[in-house]
Amino acid sequence: MKIIISLLSLLILVVAPCLAATTAKQGVAPGKKLQVETTFAYFPLAVPISVLGETMRRDRILQKNLARHGVKISFKPFTKGSDVLPLVRDNHVVGVSMSDMPTIEAVAGGDMLIVGFVKQSYSAIVAPQGTQLKELRNKRIGNAHGSTSHYALLQALSAAGMSEQNVTLVPLAVNDMLEALESGKIDAFAAWEPTPAAAVKKYPGRYAQIYRQRSYSFFLLSGNLSRMNPAAAREVTAALVRAIYWLKKSEANLLTACNWSVDGVLAFTGKPSQSKAEDIARITRDDLLDVAGAPAIPAKLSQEGSLLLKEYDFLKQLGKLPANASREKFSLSIKNSILNEVMTAPAKYNLNRFDYAK
């Protein structure tokens, strides 16, 4: 027994300093809860998603409140929704705002909840003026695979009696599509805003949007975070609401955030944004700030027969979702309760206090 006690004492003497050193190395005082580091994904090339992402990542109130709940959040830029899906499946993303098609895939293939609504707009197919959908057969079409514009393209081809097999899909980043169309590398492209509007504005009378598909974007939270640390989940949701309130507060705030978005495109791609801050502001107003009730999820999108559920069925039919994907699970993933709890307690969640790093 004495030998065992001596060995245990020795073990404590050896291990305790190591644990203390590890804690100090991580910058956490002894006895304090270690912070869980997690990622919020956003898309610099999508408006108004980029505006929200650039605003939320500067939110000092968010970081301070999350630290109290043992969470440290980093904002990481991505090109499109499908790039985030592997991280979602591995449970490495705490939150993301993205369009309907990748939203469906994220919920079907991962542990994510649809908590809020952040955009209503259109994805569009852009081609030379006068082009008809049926004339896309055997053409080269620029496309970001797995994006909401990919879904719009599938719908357009189906409406014209075609499928992906009847065209040549050219994978392109959305900010490269207009240049590829102009140079003749492709014959048309499918993209989300602001790229279609930028193409028509830059070359009036030369290019046109020959097909448009209504598109929605949603605010998603990790189901695991919502179960294991609901207070932190509410703080991330509060940051979304706070950002929208701040953007609505003044035109100066909106233009500041849109300039952040312009700078974010350059930092992310190394190329200037195709849109000016004023154009981004207009799209942000039209697609989010002037939408009644946003960021609450419109009832029409969560009901049976809604566009969102029709999209789910369409993607399942095309084999774009896992074979074991559950329609019931998808319907149950639409959670209004988290956002409602935050919005009905504005003082508790600091919805009208703003502190954004420049």
Neighbours of 131 (CB within 10 A): 18
pLDDT tens digits, one per residue of 54-64: 999 999 999 99
Architecture of domain 36-120+216-343: 3-Layer(aba) Sandwich (3.40)
Q: What's the token pair of residue 158?
A: 């189906």
pLDDT higher than 50, residue 5: no
Cα angle 213, 261, 48; round to 5: 30
- Give me the numbers of helices (H) and strands (E) for the chain, helices first please: 15, 8
pLDDT tens digits, one per residue of 118-168: 999 888 999 999 999 999 999 999 998 877 788 889 889 999 999 999 999
Per DSSP, the residues of 50-102 read HHHHHHHTTBHHHHHHHHHTTEEEEEEE-SSHHHHHHHHHTT-EEEEEEEHHH
Q: What's the token pair of residue 65?
A: 């409140």
What is the average pLDDT across 1-6?
40
CATH of 123-215, one of 3.40.1010.10, 3.40.50.970, 3.40.190.10, 3.30.450.20: 3.40.190.10
Matching fold, domains 36-120+216-343 and 123-215: yes
Residue with tokens 């991280």: 87
Read off the pLDDT band of 348 (50, 70, 90).
Answer: very high
Is the bond leading into 194 cis (omega within 30 degrees of zero)?
yes
Per-chain mean pLDDT for the chain: 88
pLDDT higher than 80, residue 4: no
pLDDT tens digits, one per residue of 245-284: 999 999 999 999 999 999 999 999 999 998 999 999 999 9
At 216, which amino acid appears?
A: Y
- pLDDT, residue 101, reads 85
- pLDDT, residue 60, reads 98
d(CA 333, CA 112): 7
Is 307 exposed, middle or buried (CB count within 10 Å of its CB: 0-12, 13-18, 19+)? middle
- pTM across the whole model: 0.79
d(CA 320, CA 244): 33
Q: Which residue has the higher pLDDT, 311 or 180?
A: 180
d(CA 112, CA 96): 10
Read off the pLDDT band of 3 (50, 70, 90).
Answer: very low
pLDDT higher than 90, residue 40: yes
CB 183 within 8 A of CB 117: no
- pLDDT, residue 93, reads 95
What is the average pLDDT across 181-206?
92
At 300, which amino acid appears?
A: K
List Cβ neighbours of 92 (8 Å cut-off, separation of 6 or more): 38, 39
Q: Which residue has the higher pLDDT, 48 or 32?
A: 48
Is 124 exposed, middle or buried (CB count within 10 Å of its CB: 0-12, 13-18, 19+)? buried
Tell me if residue 27 falls in helix, strand or coil: coil
Per DSSP, the residues of 286-297 read IIIITSTTTTSP
d(CA 110, CA 107): 5
Could you tell me whether strands 36-42 and 93-99 are parallel, antiparallel, or unpaired per DSSP bridges?
A: parallel
Read off the pLDDT band of 17 (50, 70, 90).
Answer: very low
Domain boundaries, the chain: 36-120+216-343, 123-215
Could you tell me whether strands 168-171 and 71-77 are parallel, antiparallel, or unpaired per DSSP bridges?
A: unpaired
Read off the pLDDT band of 35 (50, 70, 90).
Answer: low
pLDDT higher than 90, residue 34: no
pLDDT higher than 90, residue 304: no
pLDDT higher than 80, residue 15: no
Tell me if residue 313 falls in helix, strand or coil: helix
Q: What's the token pair of residue 25?
A: 């190395």
pLDDT higher than 60, residue 13: no
pLDDT tens digits, one per residue of 81-110: 889 999 999 999 999 999 888 899 999 999
At 141, which amino acid appears?
A: I
